[in-house]
Amino acid sequence: MSTLNLEYLGHAGWLIEGDNFRCICDPWFGPSGAFFSQWLPFPTNRDLWDASLLSNLDFIYISHAHEDHLDPWVLEQVDRSTVFVIPEFKDPILRTTLSKMGFTDVRELTRDKTEIFKGVKVKIVEDDGYMDQDSCMLLDTGDHKILNLNDCHLDFGVIEECIGDVDILMLQATSAIWWPCAYDYDDQDLRDKCIQKRHNAVRRAIKYAKTVNAKLTIPNAGPPFFRDRSLHHWNETRRDEANPFILADDAALIMRDEGVEAQALTPGDTIILGETIQTKIDQEKYNLVYTKLTEYVAKYAQQVQDEHPVPSHTTEEHKTMVQKFKKHVSNVCKTSQLYVPQLTFNVLFDFNGVEKVVVNFSEGTITTFSNQTINYEFTLCPDAMCELFKSRYIDFERFFLGTNFKCRRDPDVYNEILFTLLKNFDIKRLLTSEKIYAERKDLLNETYELEYNEQKYEVQRYCPHMLADLKRSGYVNESGHLVCSLHGWEFELKSGKCLTNGSCPLGVKQLKK
Ligand code: FES
Protein backbone atom coordinates (compact mmCIF):
# COMPACT_ATOMS: atom_id res chain seq x y z
CA MET A 1 0.00 0.00 0.00
CA SER A 2 1.29 3.47 -0.89
CA THR A 3 1.97 6.08 1.79
CA LEU A 4 1.16 9.77 1.69
CA ASN A 5 2.72 12.41 3.86
CA LEU A 6 0.70 15.57 4.50
CA GLU A 7 2.60 18.46 6.05
CA TYR A 8 0.50 21.33 7.32
CA LEU A 9 1.98 24.64 6.13
CA GLY A 10 -0.36 26.94 8.03
CA HIS A 11 -3.75 28.48 7.16
CA ALA A 12 -4.94 26.51 4.06
CA GLY A 13 -1.44 25.46 2.97
CA TRP A 14 -0.41 21.81 2.56
CA LEU A 15 2.58 19.95 1.20
CA ILE A 16 1.48 16.51 0.07
CA GLU A 17 4.11 13.92 -0.80
CA GLY A 18 3.84 10.33 -2.00
CA ASP A 19 6.49 7.84 -3.07
CA ASN A 20 7.41 9.88 -6.15
CA PHE A 21 4.71 12.54 -6.04
CA ARG A 22 4.82 16.06 -4.58
CA CYS A 23 2.31 18.89 -4.66
CA ILE A 24 1.60 22.00 -2.68
CA CYS A 25 -1.78 23.61 -1.97
CA ASP A 26 -2.49 27.29 -1.34
CA PRO A 27 0.91 28.25 0.10
CA TRP A 28 0.57 31.55 2.04
CA PHE A 29 3.72 32.98 3.60
CA GLY A 30 3.91 36.59 2.40
CA PRO A 31 4.98 38.78 5.36
CA SER A 32 2.49 41.48 4.46
CA GLY A 33 -0.40 39.04 4.89
CA ALA A 34 -3.62 39.55 2.96
CA PHE A 35 -6.42 42.07 2.52
CA PHE A 36 -4.44 45.25 2.99
CA SER A 37 -2.24 43.49 5.56
CA GLN A 38 -5.13 42.86 7.95
CA TRP A 39 -4.97 39.06 7.85
CA LEU A 40 -2.07 36.86 8.87
CA PRO A 41 -1.96 33.09 9.28
CA PHE A 42 -2.85 31.82 12.74
CA PRO A 43 -0.76 30.22 14.17
CA THR A 44 2.17 31.89 12.45
CA ASN A 45 3.99 29.82 9.85
CA ARG A 46 6.98 32.14 9.36
CA ASP A 47 9.47 29.66 10.80
CA LEU A 48 8.42 27.15 8.16
CA TRP A 49 9.15 29.21 5.06
CA ASP A 50 11.90 27.75 2.88
CA ALA A 51 12.03 28.37 -0.87
CA SER A 52 12.96 24.69 -1.36
CA LEU A 53 9.31 23.91 -0.56
CA LEU A 54 8.63 25.05 -4.12
CA SER A 55 11.05 22.71 -5.88
CA ASN A 56 10.40 19.34 -7.55
CA LEU A 57 6.67 19.85 -7.49
CA ASP A 58 4.30 17.93 -9.71
CA PHE A 59 1.96 20.88 -9.34
CA ILE A 60 0.72 23.73 -7.20
CA TYR A 61 -3.02 23.81 -6.51
CA ILE A 62 -4.60 27.23 -6.00
CA SER A 63 -8.18 26.87 -4.83
CA HIS A 64 -9.36 30.43 -5.61
CA ALA A 65 -8.20 33.98 -6.08
CA HIS A 66 -8.33 35.32 -2.51
CA GLU A 67 -4.93 36.57 -1.36
CA ASP A 68 -4.67 34.08 1.51
CA HIS A 69 -4.67 31.34 -1.16
CA LEU A 70 -3.14 33.08 -4.15
CA ASP A 71 -0.14 34.71 -2.53
CA PRO A 72 1.92 36.81 -4.97
CA TRP A 73 4.90 36.88 -2.56
CA VAL A 74 5.21 33.09 -2.76
CA LEU A 75 4.37 32.86 -6.45
CA GLU A 76 7.10 35.36 -7.39
CA GLN A 77 9.57 32.74 -6.15
CA VAL A 78 8.11 29.84 -8.14
CA ASP A 79 9.82 28.59 -11.30
CA ARG A 80 7.71 29.79 -14.22
CA SER A 81 7.52 26.30 -15.77
CA THR A 82 5.85 24.82 -12.67
CA VAL A 83 2.48 23.22 -13.35
CA PHE A 84 -0.52 24.90 -11.72
CA VAL A 85 -3.86 23.19 -11.32
CA ILE A 86 -6.75 25.54 -10.75
CA PRO A 87 -10.53 25.37 -11.03
CA GLU A 88 -12.08 26.47 -14.27
CA PHE A 89 -14.18 29.46 -13.24
CA LYS A 90 -16.25 31.63 -15.55
CA ASP A 91 -14.51 34.62 -14.02
CA PRO A 92 -10.96 34.44 -15.43
CA ILE A 93 -9.20 36.39 -12.62
CA LEU A 94 -7.29 33.39 -11.25
CA ARG A 95 -6.11 32.23 -14.67
CA THR A 96 -5.14 35.71 -15.87
CA THR A 97 -3.28 36.54 -12.65
CA LEU A 98 -1.11 33.43 -13.08
CA SER A 99 -0.62 34.07 -16.81
CA LYS A 100 0.37 37.68 -16.19
CA MET A 101 2.98 36.44 -13.71
CA GLY A 102 4.49 34.39 -16.53
CA PHE A 103 3.34 30.87 -15.62
CA THR A 104 3.07 28.87 -18.80
CA ASP A 105 1.48 25.60 -17.67
CA VAL A 106 -1.81 26.43 -15.96
CA ARG A 107 -4.34 23.60 -16.14
CA GLU A 108 -7.95 24.35 -15.43
CA LEU A 109 -9.92 21.41 -14.07
CA THR A 110 -13.55 20.86 -13.25
CA ARG A 111 -15.52 18.07 -11.63
CA ASP A 112 -15.74 16.49 -15.11
CA LYS A 113 -12.15 17.09 -16.17
CA THR A 114 -9.53 15.33 -14.02
CA GLU A 115 -5.76 14.85 -14.42
CA ILE A 116 -3.43 12.08 -13.31
CA PHE A 117 0.02 12.91 -11.95
CA LYS A 118 2.26 9.86 -11.45
CA GLY A 119 -0.70 7.64 -10.75
CA VAL A 120 -2.44 10.14 -8.44
CA LYS A 121 -5.82 11.21 -9.74
CA VAL A 122 -6.58 14.89 -9.17
CA LYS A 123 -10.11 16.15 -9.31
CA ILE A 124 -11.17 19.74 -8.66
CA VAL A 125 -14.79 20.47 -7.87
CA GLU A 126 -15.53 24.08 -8.62
CA ASP A 127 -18.09 26.21 -6.80
CA ASP A 128 -18.72 28.86 -9.40
CA GLY A 129 -21.41 31.22 -8.16
CA TYR A 130 -22.36 34.74 -9.15
CA MET A 131 -21.18 36.02 -5.79
CA ASP A 132 -18.22 33.79 -4.85
CA GLN A 133 -15.88 31.37 -6.54
CA ASP A 134 -14.04 28.65 -4.67
CA SER A 135 -13.06 25.02 -5.17
CA CYS A 136 -11.93 21.86 -3.45
CA MET A 137 -9.46 19.21 -4.54
CA LEU A 138 -9.76 15.46 -4.25
CA LEU A 139 -6.55 13.41 -4.43
CA ASP A 140 -7.05 9.74 -5.12
CA THR A 141 -3.99 7.47 -5.05
CA GLY A 142 -6.02 4.31 -5.56
CA ASP A 143 -5.28 3.38 -1.94
CA HIS A 144 -6.34 6.62 -0.30
CA LYS A 145 -8.52 9.65 -0.83
CA ILE A 146 -7.87 13.12 0.54
CA LEU A 147 -10.33 15.98 0.25
CA ASN A 148 -8.92 19.47 0.60
CA LEU A 149 -12.14 21.43 1.04
CA ASN A 150 -10.38 24.50 2.55
CA ASP A 151 -12.97 27.31 2.81
CA CYS A 152 -15.12 26.11 -0.06
CA HIS A 153 -18.77 25.84 0.96
CA LEU A 154 -19.97 23.43 -1.67
CA ASP A 155 -23.48 22.13 -1.66
CA PHE A 156 -23.71 18.87 0.30
CA GLY A 157 -25.48 17.20 -2.62
CA VAL A 158 -22.56 18.05 -4.93
CA ILE A 159 -20.12 16.66 -2.36
CA GLU A 160 -22.10 13.41 -2.19
CA GLU A 161 -22.22 13.13 -5.96
CA CYS A 162 -18.65 14.12 -6.83
CA ILE A 163 -16.57 13.02 -3.86
CA GLY A 164 -17.87 9.97 -1.98
CA ASP A 165 -16.02 8.72 1.12
CA VAL A 166 -12.53 9.96 1.99
CA ASP A 167 -9.74 9.14 4.42
CA ILE A 168 -8.68 12.67 5.30
CA LEU A 169 -10.74 15.84 5.11
CA MET A 170 -9.12 19.26 5.53
CA LEU A 171 -11.63 22.10 5.86
CA GLN A 172 -12.55 25.40 7.45
CA ALA A 173 -14.53 25.13 10.69
CA THR A 174 -14.60 28.79 11.67
CA SER A 175 -16.07 32.06 10.51
CA ALA A 176 -13.88 34.12 8.22
CA ILE A 177 -16.11 37.03 7.31
CA TRP A 178 -17.02 40.42 8.62
CA TRP A 179 -20.62 39.75 9.66
CA PRO A 180 -21.60 40.39 12.40
CA CYS A 181 -18.34 41.86 13.74
CA ALA A 182 -18.28 44.97 11.54
CA TYR A 183 -21.94 45.87 12.21
CA ASP A 184 -23.09 48.38 14.80
CA TYR A 185 -25.23 45.97 16.83
CA ASP A 186 -25.71 46.63 20.52
CA ASP A 187 -23.63 44.40 22.79
CA GLN A 188 -26.26 41.73 23.43
CA ASP A 189 -27.36 41.55 19.83
CA LEU A 190 -23.77 41.27 18.64
CA ARG A 191 -23.10 38.56 21.19
CA ASP A 192 -26.14 36.52 20.11
CA LYS A 193 -25.23 36.81 16.44
CA CYS A 194 -21.60 35.86 17.08
CA ILE A 195 -22.70 32.75 19.01
CA GLN A 196 -24.94 31.81 16.11
CA LYS A 197 -22.14 32.37 13.58
CA ARG A 198 -19.65 30.29 15.58
CA HIS A 199 -22.18 27.51 16.00
CA ASN A 200 -23.09 27.47 12.29
CA ALA A 201 -19.45 27.27 11.16
CA VAL A 202 -18.77 24.18 13.27
CA ARG A 203 -22.11 22.55 12.45
CA ARG A 204 -21.41 22.92 8.75
CA ALA A 205 -17.95 21.36 9.18
CA ILE A 206 -19.46 18.41 11.06
CA LYS A 207 -22.00 17.88 8.30
CA TYR A 208 -19.25 17.89 5.66
CA ALA A 209 -17.20 15.39 7.68
CA LYS A 210 -20.22 13.10 8.05
CA THR A 211 -21.15 13.47 4.37
CA VAL A 212 -17.77 12.13 3.23
CA ASN A 213 -17.35 9.71 6.18
CA ALA A 214 -13.91 11.15 6.86
CA LYS A 215 -11.65 8.95 8.97
CA LEU A 216 -9.83 12.07 10.12
CA THR A 217 -10.88 15.72 9.79
CA ILE A 218 -8.44 18.61 10.14
CA PRO A 219 -9.95 22.06 10.82
CA ASN A 220 -7.77 24.61 9.02
CA ALA A 221 -7.95 27.57 6.58
CA GLY A 222 -8.70 29.97 9.40
CA PRO A 223 -9.35 31.73 11.62
CA PRO A 224 -6.93 34.46 10.55
CA PHE A 225 -4.97 36.64 12.94
CA PHE A 226 -6.09 40.28 12.66
CA ARG A 227 -3.23 42.73 12.57
CA ASP A 228 -5.13 45.97 13.17
CA ARG A 229 -5.19 47.06 16.80
CA SER A 230 -8.89 47.86 16.60
CA LEU A 231 -9.56 44.18 15.86
CA HIS A 232 -7.25 42.65 18.46
CA HIS A 233 -10.10 41.74 20.78
CA TRP A 234 -11.23 39.22 18.12
CA ASN A 235 -7.78 37.60 18.42
CA GLU A 236 -7.77 37.74 22.20
CA THR A 237 -11.20 36.31 23.03
CA ARG A 238 -11.28 33.21 20.85
CA ARG A 239 -12.22 30.88 23.66
CA ASP A 240 -15.37 32.95 24.29
CA GLU A 241 -18.52 31.35 22.89
CA ALA A 242 -19.40 34.75 21.42
CA ASN A 243 -16.31 34.89 19.22
CA PRO A 244 -17.16 33.60 15.72
CA PHE A 245 -13.48 32.97 14.93
CA ILE A 246 -13.36 29.66 16.76
CA LEU A 247 -9.92 28.11 17.16
CA ALA A 248 -9.11 24.83 15.44
CA ASP A 249 -8.64 22.98 18.75
CA ASP A 250 -12.06 24.09 20.07
CA ALA A 251 -13.69 23.15 16.76
CA ALA A 252 -11.99 19.73 16.86
CA LEU A 253 -13.28 19.19 20.38
CA ILE A 254 -16.88 19.90 19.36
CA MET A 255 -16.46 17.67 16.31
CA ARG A 256 -15.19 14.79 18.40
CA ASP A 257 -18.16 15.21 20.77
CA GLU A 258 -20.38 14.76 17.71
CA GLY A 259 -18.60 11.56 16.66
CA VAL A 260 -16.27 13.12 14.07
CA GLU A 261 -12.62 12.15 14.52
CA ALA A 262 -10.87 15.52 14.32
CA GLN A 263 -7.47 16.94 15.16
CA ALA A 264 -6.11 20.48 15.26
CA LEU A 265 -2.54 20.95 14.01
CA THR A 266 0.08 23.66 14.08
CA PRO A 267 2.22 24.48 11.03
CA GLY A 268 4.88 21.82 10.51
CA ASP A 269 2.78 18.96 11.94
CA THR A 270 2.28 15.99 9.66
CA ILE A 271 -0.17 13.23 8.92
CA ILE A 272 1.09 9.95 7.53
CA LEU A 273 -1.50 8.04 5.62
CA GLY A 274 -0.62 4.38 5.03
CA GLU A 275 -2.13 1.22 6.49
CA THR A 276 -3.21 3.49 9.34
CA ILE A 277 -3.40 7.23 9.91
CA GLN A 278 -0.68 8.68 12.13
CA THR A 279 -0.41 12.29 13.23
CA LYS A 280 2.94 13.74 14.25
CA ILE A 281 2.36 16.79 16.39
CA ASP A 282 5.02 19.10 17.78
CA GLN A 283 3.55 19.07 21.28
CA GLU A 284 5.73 21.91 22.53
CA LYS A 285 4.58 24.20 19.74
CA TYR A 286 0.98 23.06 20.16
CA ASN A 287 1.08 23.96 23.86
CA LEU A 288 2.65 27.31 23.10
CA VAL A 289 -0.21 28.16 20.76
CA TYR A 290 -3.23 26.56 22.35
CA THR A 291 -2.41 26.07 26.03
CA LYS A 292 -0.66 29.42 26.47
CA LEU A 293 -2.98 31.18 24.04
CA THR A 294 -3.08 34.56 25.81
CA GLU A 295 0.70 34.90 25.82
CA TYR A 296 0.97 33.59 22.26
CA VAL A 297 -1.56 36.08 20.90
CA ALA A 298 0.00 39.01 22.79
CA LYS A 299 3.47 38.16 21.47
CA TYR A 300 2.22 37.68 17.91
CA ALA A 301 0.39 41.03 18.03
CA GLN A 302 3.49 42.79 19.31
CA GLN A 303 5.65 41.27 16.57
CA VAL A 304 3.43 42.27 13.69
CA GLN A 305 1.47 45.32 14.71
CA ASP A 306 3.76 47.90 13.10
CA GLU A 307 4.59 45.87 10.01
CA HIS A 308 3.11 46.82 6.65
CA PRO A 309 0.74 49.58 7.78
CA VAL A 310 -1.70 50.82 5.16
CA PRO A 311 0.21 53.69 3.48
CA SER A 312 -1.03 57.18 4.37
CA HIS A 313 -2.31 59.40 1.63
CA THR A 314 -2.66 63.15 1.34
CA THR A 315 -5.96 65.02 1.48
CA GLU A 316 -5.66 65.62 -2.25
CA GLU A 317 -5.24 61.87 -2.89
CA HIS A 318 -8.29 61.15 -0.71
CA LYS A 319 -10.36 63.59 -2.75
CA THR A 320 -9.15 62.10 -6.03
CA MET A 321 -10.08 58.63 -4.76
CA VAL A 322 -13.64 59.79 -3.95
CA GLN A 323 -13.93 61.28 -7.46
CA LYS A 324 -12.76 57.96 -8.94
CA PHE A 325 -15.31 56.16 -6.77
CA LYS A 326 -18.15 58.36 -8.04
CA LYS A 327 -17.08 57.89 -11.65
CA HIS A 328 -16.90 54.15 -11.15
CA VAL A 329 -20.36 54.02 -9.54
CA SER A 330 -21.72 55.96 -12.48
CA ASN A 331 -20.21 53.36 -14.88
CA VAL A 332 -21.63 50.53 -12.78
CA CYS A 333 -25.10 52.11 -12.88
CA LYS A 334 -24.92 52.42 -16.68
CA THR A 335 -23.60 48.90 -17.20
CA SER A 336 -25.47 46.68 -14.75
CA GLN A 337 -28.69 45.22 -16.15
CA LEU A 338 -29.69 42.89 -13.33
CA TYR A 339 -28.28 44.04 -9.99
CA VAL A 340 -28.63 47.82 -10.12
CA PRO A 341 -32.42 47.84 -10.84
CA GLN A 342 -32.93 45.78 -7.66
CA LEU A 343 -31.07 48.27 -5.42
CA THR A 344 -33.87 50.75 -4.90
CA PHE A 345 -32.63 52.30 -1.65
CA ASN A 346 -29.97 54.72 -0.47
CA VAL A 347 -26.51 53.46 0.40
CA LEU A 348 -24.18 55.77 2.27
CA PHE A 349 -20.43 55.46 1.68
CA ASP A 350 -18.77 57.45 4.43
CA PHE A 351 -15.12 58.03 3.51
CA ASN A 352 -14.38 58.85 7.09
CA GLY A 353 -13.63 62.57 7.23
CA VAL A 354 -13.28 63.07 3.46
CA GLU A 355 -16.84 62.97 2.12
CA LYS A 356 -20.13 61.17 2.71
CA VAL A 357 -21.54 59.95 -0.59
CA VAL A 358 -25.11 58.68 -0.99
CA VAL A 359 -25.75 56.32 -3.88
CA ASN A 360 -29.12 55.20 -5.11
CA PHE A 361 -28.07 52.60 -7.66
CA SER A 362 -31.45 52.06 -9.32
CA GLU A 363 -31.95 55.79 -9.83
CA GLY A 364 -28.31 56.28 -10.81
CA THR A 365 -27.92 59.17 -8.37
CA ILE A 366 -24.68 59.99 -6.53
CA THR A 367 -25.09 62.85 -4.06
CA THR A 368 -23.50 64.28 -0.96
CA PHE A 369 -25.16 63.20 2.28
CA SER A 370 -27.69 65.70 3.63
CA ASN A 371 -29.94 63.72 5.96
CA GLN A 372 -31.47 61.44 3.34
CA THR A 373 -32.99 58.20 4.63
CA ILE A 374 -30.26 55.61 4.52
CA ASN A 375 -30.77 51.85 4.42
CA TYR A 376 -27.17 50.69 4.24
CA GLU A 377 -24.18 52.59 5.52
CA PHE A 378 -20.47 51.80 5.19
CA THR A 379 -17.76 53.73 7.00
CA LEU A 380 -14.53 53.17 5.10
CA CYS A 381 -10.89 54.02 5.78
CA PRO A 382 -9.88 56.53 3.06
CA ASP A 383 -6.24 55.36 3.01
CA ALA A 384 -7.25 51.75 2.39
CA MET A 385 -9.75 52.90 -0.24
CA CYS A 386 -6.93 54.79 -2.02
CA GLU A 387 -5.03 51.50 -2.12
CA LEU A 388 -8.12 49.69 -3.40
CA PHE A 389 -8.50 52.16 -6.23
CA LYS A 390 -4.89 51.52 -7.28
CA SER A 391 -5.62 47.81 -7.80
CA ARG A 392 -6.26 46.13 -11.10
CA TYR A 393 -9.65 44.95 -9.88
CA ILE A 394 -11.71 47.39 -7.81
CA ASP A 395 -13.70 44.96 -5.75
CA PHE A 396 -14.81 45.66 -2.23
CA GLU A 397 -14.43 42.13 -0.96
CA ARG A 398 -10.66 42.57 -0.50
CA PHE A 399 -11.49 45.50 1.72
CA PHE A 400 -14.43 43.92 3.55
CA LEU A 401 -12.50 40.77 4.44
CA GLY A 402 -10.03 42.92 6.36
CA THR A 403 -13.02 43.57 8.69
CA ASN A 404 -11.78 47.02 9.79
CA PHE A 405 -14.74 48.98 8.53
CA LYS A 406 -18.14 49.77 10.02
CA CYS A 407 -21.50 48.85 8.61
CA ARG A 408 -25.03 49.75 9.62
CA ARG A 409 -28.31 48.76 8.02
CA ASP A 410 -31.88 49.76 8.63
CA PRO A 411 -33.83 47.53 8.57
CA ASP A 412 -31.31 44.92 9.71
CA VAL A 413 -31.74 42.79 6.61
CA TYR A 414 -28.94 41.34 4.53
CA ASN A 415 -29.08 42.39 0.90
CA GLU A 416 -27.37 39.79 -1.21
CA ILE A 417 -27.54 41.82 -4.40
CA LEU A 418 -25.78 44.81 -2.84
CA PHE A 419 -22.93 42.63 -1.60
CA THR A 420 -22.73 40.76 -4.89
CA LEU A 421 -22.43 44.09 -6.69
CA LEU A 422 -19.76 45.40 -4.34
CA LYS A 423 -17.81 42.15 -4.45
CA ASN A 424 -17.91 42.29 -8.26
CA PHE A 425 -17.47 46.02 -8.64
CA ASP A 426 -14.95 45.70 -11.46
CA ILE A 427 -16.99 46.17 -14.64
CA LYS A 428 -15.81 43.02 -16.44
CA ARG A 429 -16.32 40.90 -13.35
CA LEU A 430 -19.73 42.47 -12.82
CA LEU A 431 -20.84 41.40 -16.29
CA THR A 432 -19.58 37.85 -15.72
CA SER A 433 -21.36 37.72 -12.36
CA GLU A 434 -24.65 38.95 -13.87
CA LYS A 435 -24.40 36.32 -16.61
CA ILE A 436 -24.06 33.54 -14.01
CA TYR A 437 -26.87 35.10 -11.96
CA ALA A 438 -29.18 35.12 -15.00
CA GLU A 439 -28.45 31.44 -15.65
CA ARG A 440 -28.99 30.43 -12.05
CA LYS A 441 -32.17 32.41 -11.46
CA ASP A 442 -34.19 29.83 -13.37
CA LEU A 443 -33.37 27.37 -10.63
CA LEU A 444 -35.59 29.32 -8.27
CA ASN A 445 -38.66 27.97 -10.03
CA GLU A 446 -37.81 24.35 -9.21
CA THR A 447 -39.69 22.76 -6.30
CA TYR A 448 -39.69 19.54 -4.29
CA GLU A 449 -42.14 17.85 -1.98
CA LEU A 450 -41.50 17.82 1.74
CA GLU A 451 -43.50 15.98 4.36
CA TYR A 452 -43.48 17.14 7.97
CA ASN A 453 -45.94 16.33 10.76
CA GLU A 454 -48.23 14.52 8.34
CA GLN A 455 -48.50 17.62 6.18
CA LYS A 456 -47.11 17.83 2.63
CA TYR A 457 -45.51 21.00 1.26
CA GLU A 458 -44.33 22.02 -2.16
CA VAL A 459 -41.09 23.84 -1.42
CA GLN A 460 -38.75 25.94 -3.55
CA ARG A 461 -35.83 23.60 -4.07
CA TYR A 462 -32.92 26.06 -4.09
CA CYS A 463 -32.19 28.32 -1.12
CA PRO A 464 -32.76 32.03 -1.82
CA HIS A 465 -29.43 32.81 -0.15
CA MET A 466 -26.83 31.07 -2.32
CA LEU A 467 -28.90 28.43 -4.04
CA ALA A 468 -28.01 25.38 -1.92
CA ASP A 469 -30.16 22.41 -2.84
CA LEU A 470 -32.63 22.24 0.05
CA LYS A 471 -33.90 18.86 -1.03
CA ARG A 472 -30.50 17.50 -0.05
CA SER A 473 -29.16 19.90 2.51
CA GLY A 474 -32.31 21.25 4.15
CA TYR A 475 -33.73 19.81 7.36
CA VAL A 476 -36.65 20.63 9.65
CA ASN A 477 -35.46 21.59 13.13
CA GLU A 478 -37.13 21.10 16.50
CA SER A 479 -39.15 24.32 16.04
CA GLY A 480 -40.61 23.05 12.78
CA HIS A 481 -38.54 25.46 10.68
CA LEU A 482 -36.79 24.44 7.50
CA VAL A 483 -33.05 25.07 7.91
CA CYS A 484 -30.53 25.32 5.07
CA SER A 485 -27.43 23.67 6.45
CA LEU A 486 -25.02 25.59 4.25
CA HIS A 487 -25.20 28.86 6.20
CA GLY A 488 -27.96 28.08 8.68
CA TRP A 489 -30.77 30.27 7.31
CA GLU A 490 -34.17 29.29 8.79
CA PHE A 491 -37.53 29.44 7.03
CA GLU A 492 -41.02 29.19 8.52
CA LEU A 493 -42.50 26.11 6.92
CA LYS A 494 -46.07 27.36 6.67
CA SER A 495 -45.36 30.76 5.14
CA GLY A 496 -41.82 30.45 3.75
CA LYS A 497 -40.86 33.57 5.72
CA CYS A 498 -37.10 33.75 6.23
CA LEU A 499 -36.44 34.09 9.97
CA THR A 500 -32.78 34.88 9.39
CA ASN A 501 -33.22 37.50 6.75
CA GLY A 502 -36.69 38.97 6.39
CA SER A 503 -36.25 39.97 2.75
CA CYS A 504 -35.56 36.53 1.29
CA PRO A 505 -38.65 34.32 1.62
CA LEU A 506 -38.77 30.75 0.41
CA GLY A 507 -41.57 29.66 -1.92
CA VAL A 508 -43.74 27.20 0.05
CA LYS A 509 -47.24 25.87 -0.68
CA GLN A 510 -49.18 23.55 1.62
CA LEU A 511 -50.57 20.63 -0.36
CA LYS A 512 -53.87 18.98 0.38
CA LYS A 513 -53.48 15.98 2.69
S1 FES B 1 -27.27 28.84 0.71
FE2 FES B 1 -26.71 30.02 2.41
S3 FES B 1 -28.25 29.58 3.86
FE4 FES B 1 -28.83 28.48 2.12
CATH superfamily of 315-439: SCP2 sterol-binding domain (3.30.1050.10)
Give the pLDDT of residue 352: 93
CB 433 within 8 A of CB 424: yes
How far, CA to CA in Å, does 166 sit from each of 144, 162, 252, 348? 7, 12, 18, 47
Digit-coded pLDDT (tens) for 400-409: 998 889 999 9
Residue with CA at minimum distance from ligand 1 atom 3: 487
CATH code of domain 4-304 = 3.60.15.10
Model confidence over 58-104: pLDDT tens digits? 999 999 999 999 999 999 999 999 999 999 999 999 999 999 999 99
- DSSP for residue 171: E
Backbone angles phi, psi at 178, to 5 degrees: -80, -20
- Using alpha carbons, select from 264, 266, 253, 226 the residue that is nearest to residue 401: 226
User: How far is residue 138 from each of residues 82, 99, 444, measured CA to CA in Å?
Assistant: 20, 24, 30
The Cα 154–Cα 438 span in angstroms is 20
**What are the pocket residues of ligand 1 if the criterion is a CB atom closer than 6 Å to any ligand atom?**
463, 465-466, 468, 484, 486-487, 489
* Res 502 pLDDT > 80: no
Query: What's the pLDDT tens digit per position in 437-449?
Result: 988 777 778 899 9
Domain layout of the chain by residue ranges: 4-304, 315-439, 446-510
pTM of the model: 0.90
Report residue 457: phi and psi, to 5°.
-130, 145
Question: Going by DSSP bridges, is the β-strand pair 270-273/277-280 parallel, antiparallel, or unpaired?
Answer: antiparallel
Give pLDDT, residue 141.
Answer: 96
Q: Give the distance (Å) from ligand 1 centre to CA of residue 470.
A: 9
- The Å distance, Cα 153 to ligand 1 centre, comes to 10
The alpha carbon of 125 and the centre of ligand 1 are apart by a number of angstroms equal to: 19
Instruction: Give the model's confidence band at 513: pLDDT under 50 very low, under 70 low, under 90 confident, else very high.
Output: low
CA distance 238 to 260: 22
| Ligand 1 centroid, distance to 38 Cα (angstroms) | 27
Pocket probe mutation, ligand 1, options 414, 465, 469, 499, max atoms within 8 Å of Cβ: 465
Strands (E), 47-117: 59-61, 83-87, 105-109, 115-117
User: Closest ligand 1 atom, CA of 484?
Assistant: 4
* 9 alpha carbon – ligand 1 mean position (Å): 30
Distance 488 CA to ligand 1 centre (A): 7
Q: Do domains 315-439 and 446-510 have the same CATH topology?
A: no
Name the average pLDDT for the chain: 94
- Please give the share of the chain, as a percent, with pLDDT higher than 70: 100
Q: Whose CA is nearest to atom 1 of ligand 1?
A: 466
CA–CA separation, 260 and 264 (whole Å): 13
pLDDT digits (tens, 9 = 90+) for 153-200: 999 989 999 999 999 999 999 999 999 999 999 999 999 999 999 999
CATH fold of 446-510 reads Rieske Iron-sulfur Protein (2.102.10)
Mutate to test the pocket of ligand 1, among 463, 470, 473, 500 (most ligand atoms within 8 A of CB): 463
Average pLDDT over residues 276-298: 98
Q: Ligand 1, atom 2: nearest CA belongs to which residue? A: 487
Three-class DSSP category at 417: helix
Which of 130, 440, 472, 487 should be mutated for ligand 1, with most atoms under 8 A from CB? 487
pLDDT band at 455 (very low <50, low <70, confident <90, very high): very high
Average pLDDT estimate for 375-386: 95
